[in-house]
Amino acid sequence: MMSLERTVRVASGARRKLTPVPYVRTGAHQAMADWSPDSWRTKPAAQQPVYRDDAEVSRVMQEISKLPPLVTSWEVGALKTQLAGAATGESFLLQGGDCAESFDHCDSSTIANKLKILLQMSLVLVHGSQKRVIRVGRFAGQYAKPRSDDYETRDGVSLPSYRGDLINRPPFTEADRTPDPELMLRGYERAALTLNFIRSLVSRGFVDPHRLEYWDLDWVKNSPMADEYRRMARTIGESLRFMENILGVHPGELQWIDFFTSHEGLHLPYEQAQTRRVPRQEGWWNLSTHFPWIGMRTADPEGAHVEYFRGVRNPIAVKIGGGMRPEALKQLVDILHPDNEPGRLTLIHRFGNESIERSLGPLLYAVRATGKTVLWCCDPMHGNTRMTADGIKTRHFGDILSELDQAFDIHAAHGSHLGGIHIELTGEDVTECVGGARGLNETDLTRAYQSQLDPRLNYEQAIEIALFAARKMSKLNGRHGPQQV
Ligand code: PEP
Ligand code: CO
C-alpha cells in the first residue's frame, strides 16, 4: 500500500510530519473508532489562517470548549429528519443569508430583517410547492471565508487577505489583517447573541402566520410584486382559519415555525472547539450550528475538512462546482455518507448559468451509481459572479434565475428532483446584484453596496426568486396556483 505519510502545513502554520489515519469503510460507529475531533490535523488543511502564537490558539479553543453549546443535539436531529423529507421530495429546503456576517452588523434590525425575508420567501414557497419548507439561515456563525489568495497587495505592500471576522479584520493595516485567535471567542459570542434574538423572535408572535403584517418589510408597500405577495398572504390566512375551524385548533396551541442555522465549516479550530459528546447519544456533534457545510474549495476527499466532517453526526452539505469530477464526488459520498442515513448529506451545486447544463447531469449519474439518497440543492449565486468594467463584483439577476430554472428542469429530466435553494441575501435595501423587477443597472451598484465579499440579493430580488421558484414548482407539479395569474 502506498504510504500516506507526508509533511503538511497544519492550521497553526507549523510544518509537521504526520501519518493520516486510515478510513475504515464500515458502519458509522465502527468507522468512528479511527476518528477524533482533531484527526483533521493529520490531513492537509486548505484555507486556514497562519497564527503567530499556537499556544494562544489552544487557549482560546479550550475556553470555547467549556462554554455552553450554541445548539442542541435534539434540534440537530430534528433538522436531519426534516432534510430526509426534502431528499425524498416531501418538503423543500430554503437556505439563505449573508455571504459573510460581520460582527459590526450584529444588531436587531439586520437580524430581524433577515429573518423576515426568509419567512416571507418560505411562505411564498409553501404556497407554490404545497410542501413543508425547511428554513435554514446562513447566520449565527457565517464568519469565515475562503479566499483565492493568501495575500492582498496594495501599492507594493502585501498583507494577509481578509478571511472573515472570525479570523482578522477588513482594514488594510498590519494590525487588522494579522489573524487574531481571540476573534474566535468574539465569533462564538456574536453567534450566541444572534441566536438568542432569533430564538425569542421565533418563539413569540413574530412568526405567527396569523400576523403576517409583522413580517412585512417596508418595501411591500411599493414593490411591483407587492400585490402578488399580499394576495398570497390573504389566501394563506383564510386557509389557516378554515383549517383551524375544522380541526378546532387555535393560535397559540401550535408550534408554527422551526428555524435552523448553518455556516460554512471552514475554520477547523473553531469547529473542533465546539465538537462535543452528548449524554445518552452516540458519537460526536458539532454544536456550533445545526447544519454546517463544506465549501467548494475545501471539498477535497483527501483533505482535512472532509476528515473532520465525516465524524460528526450533524446533517452536512457540500458545495460542488464545475471542477468536481464524478469519481471524486462518488468518493465524497462514500466517505461522508457511508450508511445512507436519511437526511445526512446535501449536495449544493453551483455551476453558473452557462455551465449547469453540461455539468450537472454527469454528477447526478455518479451519485445515482452510489445507490445513496442525497438532498440536491441549487446555489444559483456563486457560479454567476462577474466583475463590472469598474472592478465591482456583481451578479446578474437574469443569470441567477436562469441557473435556477435550468436546475429544476435538469433534475426533472434525469428522474431526480431539486429539493432546495441556497442563496445569498439580505433584508436591507442594498444594490449589489443587477437586474430584477426594479431593473437595477451597473450605475446603481455604487448607491448602496455594503458587502465586504460577495454581492447579495436585496429583499425585493430575494422575494422575486421565491415567487419564481414557487411558480416553477407549481408548474412542475401540474398545478396552477393563484400566484400564476
Ligand atoms: C459561499 O457560500 O459564500 C462560498 C464561498 O461558496 P462556494 O464554496 O460555493 O464558493
Ligand atoms: Co459567497
Q: Which amino acid is at 179?
A: P
pLDDT of residue 252: 53
pLDDT (average), residues 416-424: 97
Please give the Cα distance from 400 to 32 (Å, whole number): 40
Q: Using the 8-state DSSP alphabet, how is residue 296 labeled?
A: G
Mean pLDDT, the chain, as a whole number? 88
pLDDT mean over 275-293: 96
Q: Tell me the CA distances in angstroms from 231 to 234, 313, 340, one per residue in order.
A: 5, 42, 41
Is there a contact between 229 and 463 (Cβ–Cβ < 8 Å)? yes
| pLDDT of the residue at 358 | 97
| Ligand 1 in reach of 99 Cβ (< 6 A) | yes
Asked if the model's pLDDT at residue 478 lies above 50, the reply is yes
Q: What pLDDT shows up at residue 232?
A: 74
Question: What percent of the chain is predicted at pLDDT more than 70?
Answer: 85
| pLDDT value of position 27 | 45
- HSE of 261, CA atoms in CB hemisphere, 13 A: 26
- Classify burial at 208, counting beta carbons within 10 Å of its beta carbon; exposed 0-12, middle 13-18, buried 19 or more: middle
Number of CB atoms found within 10 A of residue 371's CB? 8
Atom of ligand 1 nearest to the CA of 422: 2
Residue 416's pLDDT band (cuts 50, 70, 90): very high
Cell matching residue 36: 477524533
Helices 108-129 and 182-203 pack at an angle, to 10 degrees, of 50
Instruction: Tell me what percent of the chain is helix, strand and coil, each rounded to the nearest 5.
Output: 45, 15, 40
Cα–Cα nearest to 376, from 306, 301, 320: 320
**Over residues 260-287, mean pLDDT:** 97
Residue 382, ligand 1, Cβ within 6 A: yes
Which of 291, 297, 359, 424 gets mutated to test ligand 1 (max ligand atoms within 8 A of its CB)?
297
Q: Which residue has the higher pLDDT, 426 or 419?
A: 419
> Which atom of ligand 1 lies nearest, measured to the CA of 99?
3
C-beta 83 within 6 A of ligand 1? no
* CB-ligand 1 contact for 263 (6 Å cutoff): no
Pairing of strands 6-9, 15-18: antiparallel
Cell numbers given for 279 = 449524554
Regarding the beta carbon of 296 and ligand 1, being less than 6 Å apart is answered yes
175 vs 19: which has the higher pLDDT: 175
Between 47 and 233, residue with greater pLDDT: 47
pLDDT at 304: 98
Phi-psi region of 52 (alpha: psi -120 to 50; beta: other; left: phi over 0): alpha
Any ligand 1 atom below 6 A from CB of 305: no
Per the structure block, which three cell numbers stand in for 9? 502545513
Contact between 258 and 137 (Cβ < 8 Å): no
Q: What is the pTM of this model?
A: 0.89
Model pLDDT, residue 484:
32
Give, as one character, the DSSP assignment of residue 302.
T
pLDDT surpasses 90 at 174: yes
State the average pLDDT over residues 386-398. Answer: 93
pLDDT tens digits for range 439-476: 888 888 988 998 878 999 998 899 899 999 999 999 99
Atom of ligand 1 nearest to the CA of 295: 8
- Give pLDDT, residue 257: 73
Bridge partners (DSSP) of residue 285 are 276
d(CA 111, CA 344): 28
Q: Report pLDDT for 5.
A: 33
- What is the spatial distance between Cα 452 and Cα 170, in angstroms, rounded to a whole number? 8
Query: pLDDT tens-digit profile of 176-232?
Result: 999 999 999 999 999 999 999 999 888 766 666 666 666 665 655 667 777 777 777
Phi, psi (rounded to 5 degrees) for 276: -135, 160
110 against 239, higher pLDDT: 110
Closest to 424 in 3D by CA, of 297, 262, 285: 262
Distance of CA 248 from the midpoint of ligand 1 (Å): 46
Give residue 10's pLDDT. Answer: 34
Q: What is the pLDDT of residue 19?
A: 38
What gap in Å lies between CA 84 and CA 132, rounded to an integer?
12
Which helix (H) or strand (E) is 135 found in, with range? strand 132-137
The three-class DSSP label of residue 379 is coil
Rounded-to-integer distance, Cα 117 and Cα 225, Å? 14
Contact call for residues 46 and 305 (beta carbons, < 8 A): yes
Whether the per-residue pLDDT at 482 is higher than 50: the answer is no
Q: Is 322 in the pocket of ligand 1 (CB under 6 A)?
A: no
Q: What is the pLDDT of residue 216?
A: 63
Q: Could you say which DSSP state residue 148 is in?
A: S
Q: How far from the centroid of its chain's Cα atoms is residue 2's Cα?
A: 36
Tell me the Ramachandran region of residue 343: left when phi exceeds 0, alpha when psi lies from -120 to 50, beta otherwise.
left
H-helix or E-strand spanning residue 34: none
Contact 92, 129 (CB under 8 A): yes
Q: Which three cell numbers stand for residue 291?
A: 447544519
Of 326, 260, 258, the C-alpha closest to 290 is 260
Which is nearest to 429 in space by CA: 449, 446, 443?
449
pLDDT of residue 428: 83
Q: Give the dihedral sign, CA 208/214/218/223.
A: positive
In this prediction, residue 244 has a pLDDT band, given cuts at 50, 70 and 90, of: low
CA dist 458 and 433 (Å) reads: 8
User: Among all ligands shown, which has an atom nearest to the Cα of 456?
Assistant: 2
At residue 396, the pLDDT reads 95
pLDDT tens digits, residue range 21-69?
333 344 444 458 899 999 999 999 999 999 999 999 999 999 999 999 9
With beta carbons less than 8 A apart as the criterion, state whether 315 and 343 touch.
Answer: yes
Give pLDDT, residue 29: 47
Residue 377 has pLDDT above 80, yes or no: yes
pLDDT by residue (tens digit) across 71-94?
999 999 999 999 999 999 999 999
Average pLDDT over residues 89-115: 95
The arithmetic mean of pLDDT across residues 392-398, rounded, is 94
* Higher-pLDDT residue of 106, 120: 106
Mean pLDDT (whole number) for 2-9: 33
> Sorting pLDDT into bands at 50, 70 and 90, what band is 479?
low
pLDDT attached to residue 214: 60
What number of other Cβ atoms are within 10 A of residue 237's Cβ? 14
